[in-house]
Structure 1
Amino acid sequence: MSEGREKTHIIVFANEKGGTGKSTTAVHVAIALAAKGARVAAFDLDHRQRTTGRYLDNRAATIARTGRALPMPIHETHDGVSEDRFEQVYARLAADADYLVIDTPGRDDHFARLSATRADTLVTPMNDSFVDFDLIGQVDPDSYKVTRPSFYSELIWDARKVRAKSDGSTIDWVVLRNRLQHIEARNMRRVSEALGQLAKRVGFRIIPGLGERVIYRELFPKGLTMLDSKDFGDMGLSHVAARQELREMMAGLALPEPTIPMFATA
């Protein structure tokens, strides 16, 4: 792993609104890191939906069925109740991992808040709309200027203060714009401008995420990703574009880098 890094890098995907592509993004990040040769663990805190856990279970089944050596994070799912179990699983997964990817529920959740205070990188995926923007900030209905941060931004602000007080570390908060559309240019521009205003005010970075593509849903039953091109045939132009989106997203996250070249096993 990169020189000078002595502890597991904690990446928390958190958004109290569902339907933002949070779990899909978390899985792709975990597998992309594993494809670099990193030791990666994933912790799914959503015991109801369990999307990340199911995705990786499907991947493990594909590996067992086909005998293919795919990059594979270790993973567990929390029961959503036990504080002791959370701490035990968290410690076990983090102990031997270069990265621990934590996927939180799309709702207010005690363990999601706890995880946020431990994040080195906190990723909040959002769709390109003011419906999703409302989670982190409010805008004037006429001018679309930001009027104030929303409750969730204040929650992250508090998490940063807790983290700084506990060990002096900072949390790199990244707002990830998923499912960007190439239509409704006026709406995209307004959302982008509002995000820029709020980013300066509360301190987060903005990066592009994954587009709205059928391929992401089609790969779920086999637990495959865009990095596994050899395992689902030749890629069309849309698949190539999706793979490039993933590359750009990983670059934007600016995580500590392993020494093995990106996507070496893909």
Structure 2
Amino acid sequence: MSRLENRTALVTGASRGIGRGIALRLAQDGAVVAVNYTNNEAAAKETVALIEEAGGRAFTVQASLGEAGAVEKLLDGVRAGLTELTGSATLDILINNAAATGFAGAGPSSVTEEILDNCYAINAKAPFLLIQKALELIPDGGHIVNISSGVTHAAFPIQIAYAMSKAALEQITLHMAPVLAPRNITINTVAPGITNNGDPVFDNPEAVEQMSALSAFKRVGEVSEVADIVAFVASDEARWITGSFVDATGGTLLG
């Protein structure tokens, strides 16, 4: 039996990059996956197609997390999609992956109120509300994984707004863990480092060499490597782990 057979999962921001990799891996392990996206419907449908080609089941759900009413819209779509595919709206696994990331270069002096509001709305507020409202769908023994970043544990001033908001996400993990434990629901943080997510920068050998130097393994990470870690934390094999920060940076934080 596959690790996640007869399980269901929601992965936010799953149309590309790490989110897509996580969705593919959870489906490979047997889960029915709700693929959330913001604007790129074609990319989300491609994620679903890749899952179906491999023999899995998935469906897309559009919701622009961070906007008013987006969490409710997302969960309505998840309920409908899961009911259609499985006959039940039960959600076993929630992966909070969607993030506002486009502020590299905005150091402390150039961070605006708008940037802060956007980062916190998508990276912290939306995951909190999604957990809060999804708990009625998550059964006892479910799993929640928040995708953070290694920048919360190292100094990268040009990513200060992003790092601040991801640090808030990690606090959600920490403080929700004892609240969810009586229901045997685990909640953990997985923090990737520099990962080849398909961004054009990874086509630049000089840039890749510089990024590789930060890792203990002297290379950049691959999406599949992060997805493998998330799949473990989202499974019953990790049932004795909760409230944890899982360093998935390839040793970038070793100093």
TM-score (norm 1): 0.48
Structure with larger RCO (C-alpha < 8 A, sep 6+):
1
- When you count helix as a share of all residues, which structure comes out higher? 2
Larger radius of gyration between Structure 1 and Structure 2: 1
TM-score (norm 2): 0.49
